[in-house]
Amino acid sequence: MIDMKALAVLAFVAAAIPAAQLVTAAGGSDRPSQVLESDWIPISERFGFVIDPDSNESPTPPALPLPAELMPPVKGYFVVKTDAGWRRLAVVNPVELARL
């Protein structure tokens, strides 16, 4: 039979797992202000990608799952968190750099 101490430890572990998941999920919601959660793709704590909803069409979902190569691309921009807050990054075309 299970004694009371083992039962108490088991109950504590069972209660701690969902609590730990909630704390982890709350920390992952840090994103730039003005950015909806549905438009935010976190890459790390200080780096992420923002989907630009205005420049992306809302296609109807395909009947079958498609591989990434066949899905329409989404447009957006990268951001990095600095001491001053979130900053948008500009990605420069390497061909343009070669012309300089």
H or E, element range at 5: helix 4-27
Task: List, for residues 72-93, the tens digit of each pLDDT value.
Answer: 788 899 999 999 999 999 887 7
Backbone dihedral region for residue 89 (phi beyond 0: left; psi -120 to 50: alpha; all else: beta): beta
Residue 28, pLDDT > 80, answer no
What integer pLDDT is reported at residue 21 of this predicted model? Answer: 45
Chain segment 50-70, per-residue pLDDT in tens: 998 887 665 566 677 888 888
**Sequence letter at residue 10:** L
Query: 47 with 80: CB under 8 angstroms?
Result: yes
Domain boundaries, the chain: 1-29, 31-99
Report residue 19 as tokens.
Answer: 């609590």
8 Å CB contact between 75 and 52: yes
